[in-house]
Structure 1
Amino acid sequence: MSPIQQLISNFQELVAQVPEIVQPLIILLAGAVPFVDGEGAAIIGIIGGVHPVVAAVAAAAGNFLCVLLVVAVTSRARTAVIDRRPTPVGASVGMGARAGVGAQALPGMAPAKPESKGRERFNRWLVRFGVPGASILGPLAIPSQITSAILIGGGTPRRWVLLWQAVSIALWTTVGAVSVWAALTYVVEVS
């Protein structure tokens, strides 16, 4: 038995000590962790010996529930900030900041700090491919939770973000689950 096969076998024995009903719940919680996301949690679950479909569904559900929470909180925070923003002189009160009128920086505000490389890459994708492309390509640069917060903070409607995040989570979790299942089955030859 190769060292990789031995390592996977030991990990599967460790996971087998956890009751089967709890295993998907642990994968669900792992899917909610940023940078692990659905694909990482599904991979961990499948390597641990959980059925690939169960691991993928639990991981995707955990990731989407966390994205749903982030979208709800970010949307409320954005609404609170916009509702409290002073209306620029000459702008009508009814259309003020919500419509984007007077979105310039207010006098006396400190300049924003420079953006990270991941955020710059995400912004390029958002401009080039729109919300669907940014949602699907976003996990290559930053976690889906951060992608959702950026999109909502920028004014994208919640339903649109949730729809494309669900598509992205399903796509990347499926890619991760199928890849690790195929690697374990055909390359490492561990069941």
Structure 2
Amino acid sequence: MEFLDYLWAYFIVFVFAAIPFFEAFGVITLGILAGLPAVPVILVSLVGNILTVLLLIVFINKFKEWRRKRKGEEAEKQQSKRAVRAQNLWNKFGMPGLAFIGPLFVGSHLTAFMCVTLGGQKKRTSIWMVSSITVWGIVFALLTHFGVDFLGYEDRGVLKDLIQVD
């Protein structure tokens, strides 16, 4: 691949990692399976995911205001199943538990939103969410790396033929 192809690939990795529900650990896995070098994929994915989560935490009040206007006051009072599960995790394990378990089930953006909504301070939420995203990203990178090596795809990406530009 040429330099511009790599640049374009890493831009796509960054954008997908920044989009809610396309978590960094999922994008890291896809990037490694596509044959991109693991370390840059990990770094770019983590930066993309962490940046948007931190922006959400910083601007949470503006986001709540926008959501309230969009959904209406009565929708704000109704709790979804996800909100009930998050509240139960919060009651049982506190912010660390929700921050580490939440991204696997509902995504890091929604988890950060729930942490702040349930009473967490922005600074503590930021620290726990950055830790969680980083740990899960590294765990999934290691699992993907060793799984790919175990299957014999060490030097070629599983998805490389699909994204290769001629």
The AA in structure 1 aligned to 2:99 is S
Tell me the distance in 1 between the aligned counterparts of 2:119 and 2:79: 21
8 Å contact from structure 2 (residues 28, 42) kept in 1: yes
- How does the TM-score come out when normalised to structure 1? 0.69
Counting only pairs closer than 5 Å after superposition, residues 118-129 of structure 1 correspond to structure 2 as 118-129=82-93
Residue 97 of structure 1 corresponds to none
Structure that is richer in helix per residue:
2
1:67 aligns with 2:69: no
**Following TM superposition, by how much is the alpha carbon of 1:35 offset from its aligned partner in structure 2, in angstroms?**
1.7
Aligned length: 147
- 2:151 alignment partner in structure 1: 187
The structure with the larger Rg is 1
Please point out which of 118, 141, 145 is paired with 1:154: 118
Q: Which has the higher contact order (CA 8 A, sep 6+)?
A: 2
- Specify the code of the residue in structure 1 equivalent to 2:80: E
Q: Is the CA contact (8 Å cut-off) linking 1:27 and 1:58 kept in structure 2?
A: yes
Match 1:113 to one of 67, 78, 84: 78
Letter in 1 for 2:92: R
User: What does 1:1-16 align with in structure 2 at a 5 Å threshold?
Assistant: 16=1
Counterpart CA distance in 1 for 2:52 and 2:109 is 7
Superposed counterparts of 1:1-191, under 5 Å? 16=1, 19-76=5-62, 110=74, 112-116=77-81, 118-191=82-155
Does structure 1 retain, via aligned residues, the 8 Å contact 2:86–2:114?
no
The alignment partner of 1:163 has SS state of: helix
Per-residue Cα deviation, 1:123-157 (whole angstroms, up to 9, x for no partner):
21111111111101111221100111112223321
AA matched with 2:111: T
Query: 1:77-125 deviations in whole A, cap 9, x for unaligned?
Result: 56x79xxxxxxxxxxxxxxxxxxxxxxxxxxx75833422x33222211
What residue ranges of structure 1 are gaps of 5+ in the alignment? Answer: 1-15, 82-108
Report the TM-score when normalising by structure 2.
0.78
Give the Cα–Cα distance (whole angstroms) in 1 for the partners of residues 153 and 121 of structure 2: 46
- Extract unaligned runs of 5+ from structure 2: 67-72, 156-166
Name the CA shift for 1:130/1:114 in 2 (closer, same or farther; >3 Å).
Answer: closer
Amino acid at match of 1:32: A
> 1: distance between equivalents of 2:153 and 2:35?
13
Alignment partners' CA distance in 2, 1:189 and 1:151: 39
Please list every run of at least 4 consecutive aligned residues from structure 1 whose deviation after the TM superposition is greater than 4 angstroms.
none
8 Å CA contact 1:121–1:141 kept in 2: the answer is no
Percentage identity across aligned positions?
Answer: 22
